[in-house]
Amino acid sequence: MVPCKRCAPFFVFKRIHPPKTLICKGSPAQLQLYYSMDHGGIFYKIESLFFKKCKFCQDLLVKSVIENYLIETGEIMRKIFVAGNWKMNKTIAEAQDLLEAMLPQLAEIDNVEKGVAPVYLAIPSVVEQCRESGVKVGAQNVFWEASGAYTGEVAPAMVAEVCDFVIVGHSERRKYFGETDETVNKRLKAALAAGLEVIVCVGETLEENEAGLTAAVVTRQLTEGLAGITEAQAAKITIAYEPVWAIGTGLAATPEDANRVHKDVIRPLLKQQFGKLTSQQMRIQYGGSITADNAAELFAMSDIDGGLVGGASLKADSFVAIVQAASKVALEKKEL
């Protein structure tokens, strides 16, 4: 996208103090820009815009101001997102007990986004219990068709009726239920269209890792899994890098290795598809044997923006400790 000739001069900016005020060099106009970030997205408001341009260029202008400002100042902060994937665990009664034990402590933490993904049947009662707690509720899978004769499946609108987010492409779905990059893409598109936030899982197997294929596998999974997704839709997507060999094995990737995949493989792919600013805003969770002991070290890495937690999310003390570790890291990252 490039601005039209008439508007092009307005695209040269000088940042003055205080930093959120910008003077447009191309005209005497002054743009007061305020923005706030939450949930990985940017919301902005223009206080005063004295010069007239076409709508298209005005949007470009605002986008360009925000982009330059945030990139120049390094002010992009991704809110850490920790989600518990309960997999096929917890009856409704057990889910209630678990939440009862951890919600009071989780509710105290507001600088981390928190979520739990129970089995479908427990979702309504979990949603009820999580109300007002700031804990999001998600499903572990979703089908792409809207309705019909698909025994055993659940449609996106049905999930969206009760859930905030959905997980797609988990390696267990790929391994046991024939999930492919193509079906991940179909689920993702349908879930986004229904208004859901989506966690898209990628990750290589042990054999692929040992053969040096990590980057190639993750690149393929993301390229095909995210095919046709627009920049606007990207704001609702979190990527979870879950090396298959680390899931449920007690062998987490080292923070450095995981961060290398996030920073050097996943984020550049996101940049290629969605642009620099959006790629900087998108969260990339790590998943695979996260515990209360290794969580802080993992979350402290530059491009690890939270975690998708399996086993350790099934116990109140370990999940709370992981979210507390995330909260502490979030404070430290802010102070940097």
Which of 197, 204, 242, 262 is flagged as catalytic?
A: 242
Q: Does 204 bind ligand 13P (CB under 6 A)?
A: no
In angstroms, what CA-CA distances link 19 with 30, 281, 332?
13, 20, 22
* Residue 313 or 327 having the CB closest to ligand 13P: 313
Among 287, 298, 306, 316, binds ligand 13P (CB under 6 A): 287
Cα(220)–Cα(247) distance, rounded to whole angstroms?
20
Q: Which of 221, 230, 329 is nearest to 278 (CA)?
A: 230
| 335 belongs to the catalytic site | no
Does residue 262 carry a catalytic annotation? no
SS3 letters for 148-185?
A: CCCCCCCCHHHHHHHCCEEEECCHHHHHHHCCCHHHHH
Question: Interface with ligand 13P includes 292 (CB under 6 A)?
Answer: no
Among residues 113, 170, 197, 204, the one annotated as catalytic is 170
- Write down the least CB distance from residue 322 to ligand 13P, Å: 10
Q: Are 24 and 33 in contact (CB under 8 A)?
A: no
Site for ligand 13P in 160-179 (CB under 6 A): 170
Q: Which is nearer to ligand 13P, 98 or 309 (CB)?
A: 309
Check residue 239 for interaction with ligand 13P (CB under 6 A): no
User: What order do you get walking across the sheet with 21-24 strand by strand?
Assistant: 13-15, 21-24, 30-38, 41-46
Q: Which span sits near ligand 13P by CB under 6 A: 11-19, 51-59, 143-151, 286-294?
A: 286-294
Q: Which of 64, 85, 238, 294 binds ligand 13P (CB under 6 A)?
A: 85
Q: Of 118, 225, 288, 306, which lies in the binding site for ligand 13P, with binding defined by CB under 6 A?
A: 288
Return the range that interacts with ligand 13P (CB under 6 A); candidates 10-18, 55-63, 221-229, 309-317. 309-317
Q: Does 184 bind ligand 13P (CB under 6 A)?
A: no
Residue 308 interacts with ligand 13P (CB under 6 A): yes or no: yes
* Angle between the N-to-C axes of helices 123-130 and 92-107, in degrees from 0 to 180, rounded to the nearest 10: 20
Please provide the distance, in angstroms rounded to a whole number, between the alpha carbons at the two ends of the chain.
34
Residues 20-59 that bind ligand 13P (CB under 6 A): none
Count of residues touching ligand 13P (by CB under 6 A): 14
Return the closest-CA partner of residue 289 out of 164, 174, 220, 203.
203
| Contact with ligand 13P (CB under 6 A) among 7, 290, 301, 316 | 290
The residue (of 24 and 95) whose beta carbon lies closer to ligand 13P is 95
Of 242, 259, 266, 274, which lies in the binding site for ligand 13P, with binding defined by CB under 6 A? 242
CA–CA separation, 336 vs 280, rounded Å? 17
Residue with nearest beta carbon to ligand 13P? 310
Q: Which of 63, 45, 50 is nearest to 3 (CA)?
A: 63
Please report, for residues 116, 120, 233, 302, 305, the alpha-carbon distance to residue 158 in angstroms, rounded to integers and kept in the order given: 18, 11, 20, 36, 29
Nearer to ligand 13P, 116 or 301 (CB): 116
Scan for tokens 């060099």, then name that residue.
Answer: 25
Return d(Cα 198, Cα 196) in angstroms, integer: 6
Closest CA to 240 of 296, 167, 300: 167
The nearest distance, CB 12 to ligand 13P, in angstroms, is: 46
Site for ligand 13P, rule CB under 6 A: 85, 170, 242, 247-248, 287-290, 308-312
Tell me which residues are annotated as active site.
170, 242
